[in-house]
Structure 1
Amino acid sequence: MVRCSKVLAVLLVFSFISKIHFVLGDGEANMFCSPREKQDLLTFKLGLMDPSHRLSSWVGDNCCTWEGVSCDNMTGSVVRLDLKNPIDYDLTEEEENEGYMAQLGGEINPSFLELKHLKSLDLSSNDFNGTSIPRVLGLAQNLSGLYMVEGVDNLEWLSHLSHLEHLDMSQVNLSYVSNWLQVINTLPSLLELLLVDCGLYQFLSLPYHNLTALEVLDLSVNHFNSPLPDWFSSLNNLLLLDLSHNSFRGPIPHVLKNLTKLTDLDLSSNKFNSTIPNWLNSFKHLEHLDLSYNAFHGTVSAAIDNLTSVTSLYLDANNLEDNIPTWFWNFSSQLSILDLSNNHIKGELPNTLPTQTRLGSNNFQGLLPRLTSNISELDLSNNSFSGNISLFLCHPSNKTYSLSAIDLSDNLLVGEIPNCWMYLTSLELVNLDNNHLYGNIPSSMGSLNSLLSFHVRNNSISGELPSSLQNYTQLQTTNLGNNDLSGSIPTWIGKSLPNLKVLALHSNKFKLLSSKHLLNRAVSNDGLCGTPLMKKCNGNGSGEIPNTQAQDSDEYDMMEQFYVTVGPGFVVGLTGFCAALVFMDKWRLAYFRFVEDMKDRLLARF
Structure 2
Amino acid sequence: MKETFDHGQFVSLKELEEASKQKLKGVLSPSLLDLKQLKHLDLSCNNFGRIQVPEFIGSLGNLRYLNLSSSNFSGIIPPQLGNISELHTLCLGSFQDWRGENTRVMNMEWLSNLRLLRHLDMSNVDLSKAMDWFQVINTLPSLTELHLKSNHLMDVHPHAPSLNITSLLLLDLSENYFFDDSLVPRWIFSITSLVSLDLSYCDFKGLSPSISSHSFPLDSLHNLTSLLSLDLSSNQLTNIIPKSLGNFCNLRDIDLSSNNFQNISLASLLESFLECKSPHLESLLMYASGLSGIIPDSIGRLSLLKSLGLSYNQFTGSLPNSLGQLSKLEELDFSSNFLTGVVTETHFVKLVHLKNLIGSGNNLILRPRLANWIPPFQLERLYLNSGSLGPQFPSWLISQRDLIDLDISNADISSPIPESFWRSFPNLEYLDMSKNQMQGTLNLSGIPALEFLYLSSNRFGGKLPDIINGPILKVLDLSGNLFVGSVHHLLCSDGWKETVLLNLGNNSLTGVIPECWEKWPVLKYLNLENNNFSGRIPRTLGHACNIVKMNMGGNKLEGKLPASLMKLTYLEILELSGNELAGSIPSWVGIKLSSLEILNLRSNKFVGKIPRGVCYLTHIQILDLSNNKLMGDIPKCFNNFSILSGKETNIRFNNCSVPLVMKGHEYVYGTILNLVRLLDLSNNKLVGHIPSELTTLIKLQSLNLSGNLLTGRIPEKIGDLKEIESFDLSLNKLSGELPMSLSSLNALSSFNVSYNNLTGKIPSSTQHQSLNESCFVGNKLCGDPLSDPCSRVETPDTDHEDDGSHGVDWGLIISVVSGFIAGFWVILAPLIVSRSWRIAYFRFWSQLGYMVYDVRHKMFSR
TM-score by length of 1: 0.74
CA contact (8 A) 1:232 1:256 kept: no
Question: Equivalent of 1:546, from 726, 734, 750?
Answer: 734
User: Match of 2:623, SS?
Assistant: strand
The 5 Å alignment of 1:559-578 reads 561-562=767-768, 564=770
CA contact (8 A) 1:373 1:402 kept: yes
Once the 2 structures are TM-superposed, how far is the Cα of residue 287 of structure 1 from its aligned partner?
0.7
Which residue identity is paired with 2:476? T
User: Match of 2:343, SS?
Assistant: coil
Q: Cα deviation per residue 1:436-485 (whole Å; 9 max; x = unaligned)?
A: 00111112212112212110001011112223222223221121100011
Question: Equivalent of 2:564, from 444, 466, 490?
Answer: 444
Matched, 1:28 2:121: yes
Once the 2 structures are TM-superposed, how far is the Cα of residue 212 of structure 1 from its aligned partner?
1.0
CA contact (8 A) 1:260 1:285 kept: no
Which residue identity is paired with 1:491? R
CA contact (8 A) 2:193 2:226 kept: no
Q: Cα deviation per residue 1:353-380 (whole Å; 9 max; x = unaligned)?
A: 5321111111001101225333211111
User: Match of 2:121, SS?
Assistant: helix
Change in 2 beyond 3 A, CA 1:213/1:290: same
CA contact (8 A) 1:58 1:67 kept: no
Question: Equivalent of 1:373, from 492, 497, 522?
Answer: 497
Identity %: 23
Alpha-carbon separation, structure 2, partners of 1:362 and 1:497: 35
Matched, 1:286 2:403: yes
Counterpart of 1:477 in structure 2 is: 598
CA contact (8 A) 2:588 2:613 kept: no
Alpha-carbon separation, structure 2, partners of 1:491 and 1:253: 68
CA contact (8 A) 2:344 2:367 kept: no
Counterpart of 1:487 in structure 2 is: 608
Alpha-carbon separation, structure 1, partners of 2:531 and 2:621: 27
Which structure is larger by alpha-carbon Rg, 1 or 2? Answer: 2
Alpha-carbon separation, structure 2, partners of 1:324 and 1:334: 19
Alpha-carbon separation, structure 2, partners of 1:429 and 1:447: 14
- List runs of 5+ in structure 1 lacking aligned partners: 1-8, 38-52, 88-103, 567-606
Counterpart of 2:64 in structure 1 is: 18
Question: Equivalent of 2:154, from 56, 59, 63?
Answer: 56
Alpha-carbon separation, structure 1, partners of 2:432 and 2:538: 32
Q: Cα deviation per residue 1:27-53 (whole Å; 9 max; x = unaligned)?
A: 42399866899xxxxxxxxxxxxxxx9
Counterpart of 1:266 in structure 2 is: 383
CA contact (8 A) 1:485 1:508 kept: yes
Alpha-carbon separation, structure 2, partners of 1:332 and 1:241: 21
Change in 2 beyond 3 A, CA 1:284/1:66: closer
Change in 2 beyond 3 A, CA 1:524/1:536: closer
Question: Which stretch of structure 1 is more off in the superposition, 461-470 or 356-365?
Answer: 461-470
Matched, 1:119 2:277: no
Question: Equivalent of 2:342, from 226, 249, 272?
Answer: 226
Once the 2 structures are TM-superposed, how far is the Cα of residue 316 of structure 1 from its aligned partner?
0.8
Alpha-carbon separation, structure 1, partners of 2:628 and 2:432: 40
Once the 2 structures are TM-superposed, how far is the Cα of residue 556 of structure 1 from its aligned partner?
4.7
Which residue identity is paired with 2:358? D
CA contact (8 A) 2:389 2:413 kept: yes
Which residue identity is paired with 1:271? S
Counterpart of 2:724 in structure 1 is: none
Counterpart of 1:383 in structure 2 is: 507
Once the 2 structures are TM-superposed, how far is the Cα of residue 81 of structure 1 from its aligned partner?
1.8
Which residue identity is paired with 2:480? S
Alpha-carbon separation, structure 1, partners of 2:711 and 2:758: 20
Which residue identity is paired with 2:425? L
Question: Which stretch of structure 1 is more off in the superposition, 510-519 or 231-240?
Answer: 510-519
The 5 Å alignment of 1:64-143 reads 66-68=173-175, 79-84=196-201, 105-108=214-217, 110-115=219-224, 117-130=226-239, 132-143=240-251
Question: Which stretch of structure 1 is more off in the superposition, 152-161 or 245-254?
Answer: 245-254
Alpha-carbon separation, structure 1, partners of 2:613 and 2:232: 51
CA contact (8 A) 2:39 2:64 kept: no
Change in 2 beyond 3 A, CA 1:430/1:10: closer
Once the 2 structures are TM-superposed, how far is the Cα of residue 545 of structure 1 from its aligned partner?
1.2
CA contact (8 A) 1:428 1:452 kept: yes
Change in 2 beyond 3 A, CA 1:193/1:36: farther
Alpha-carbon separation, structure 2, partners of 1:374 and 1:128: 44
CA contact (8 A) 2:610 2:632 kept: yes
Alpha-carbon separation, structure 2, partners of 1:200 and 1:36: 50
CA contact (8 A) 2:352 2:377 kept: yes
Alpha-carbon separation, structure 2, partners of 1:237 and 1:198: 27
Once the 2 structures are TM-superposed, how far is the Cα of residue 12 of structure 1 from its aligned partner?
7.5
Once the 2 structures are TM-superposed, how far is the Cα of residue 106 of structure 1 from its aligned partner?
3.8
Counterpart of 1:585 in structure 2 is: none
CA contact (8 A) 1:203 1:228 kept: no
CA contact (8 A) 1:324 1:347 kept: yes
Q: Cα deviation per residue 1:186-212 (whole Å; 9 max; x = unaligned)?
A: 323321101113413223444x96511
CA contact (8 A) 1:463 1:484 kept: yes
Change in 2 beyond 3 A, CA 1:250/1:438: same
Counterpart of 1:163 in structure 2 is: 280
Which residue identity is paired with 2:341? N
CA contact (8 A) 1:449 1:472 kept: yes
- List runs of 5+ in structure 2 lacking aligned partners: 1-35, 41-59, 68-86, 93-119, 124-132, 142-150, 177-187, 205-212, 640-677, 692-704, 713-730, 739-756, 773-862
Which residue identity is paired with 1:119? L
Which residue identity is paired with 2:758? D
Matched, 1:315 2:433: yes
User: Match of 2:243, SS?
Assistant: helix
Once the 2 structures are TM-superposed, how far is the Cα of residue 400 of structure 1 from its aligned partner?
5.7
Counterpart of 2:452 in structure 1 is: 337
* Structure with more contact order per residue of length (Cα contacts < 8 Å, sep ≥ 6): 1
Counterpart of 1:202 in structure 2 is: 318
Alpha-carbon separation, structure 2, partners of 1:355 and 1:145: 36
Q: Cα deviation per residue 1:277-296 (whole Å; 9 max; x = unaligned)?
A: 33322212111111110211
Once the 2 structures are TM-superposed, how far is the Cα of residue 553 of structure 1 from its aligned partner?
4.8
Which residue identity is paired with 2:438? L
Counterpart of 1:363 in structure 2 is: 482
Alpha-carbon separation, structure 1, partners of 2:90 and 2:599: 53
User: Match of 2:154, SS?
Assistant: coil
Alpha-carbon separation, structure 2, partners of 1:423 and 1:267: 39
Change in 2 beyond 3 A, CA 1:549/1:120: same
Alpha-carbon separation, structure 2, partners of 1:125 and 1:66: 13
CA contact (8 A) 2:690 2:710 kept: no
Question: Which stretch of structure 1 is more off in the superposition, 306-315 or 243-252?
Answer: 243-252
User: Match of 2:479, SS?
Assistant: coil
Which residue identity is paired with 1:366? G
Give the helix-richer structure, 1 or 2. 1
Alpha-carbon separation, structure 2, partners of 1:12 and 1:122: 34
Once the 2 structures are TM-superposed, how far is the Cα of residue 410 of structure 1 from its aligned partner?
0.5
CA contact (8 A) 2:406 2:431 kept: yes
Paired residue total: 508
Once the 2 structures are TM-superposed, how far is the Cα of residue 349 of structure 1 from its aligned partner?
1.6
CA contact (8 A) 1:216 1:240 kept: yes
Q: Cα deviation per residue 1:292-335 (whole Å; 9 max; x = unaligned)?
A: 102112212224221221111111111112x405xx13135431
Once the 2 structures are TM-superposed, how far is the Cα of residue 166 of structure 1 from its aligned partner?
1.6
Change in 2 beyond 3 A, CA 1:159/1:436: same
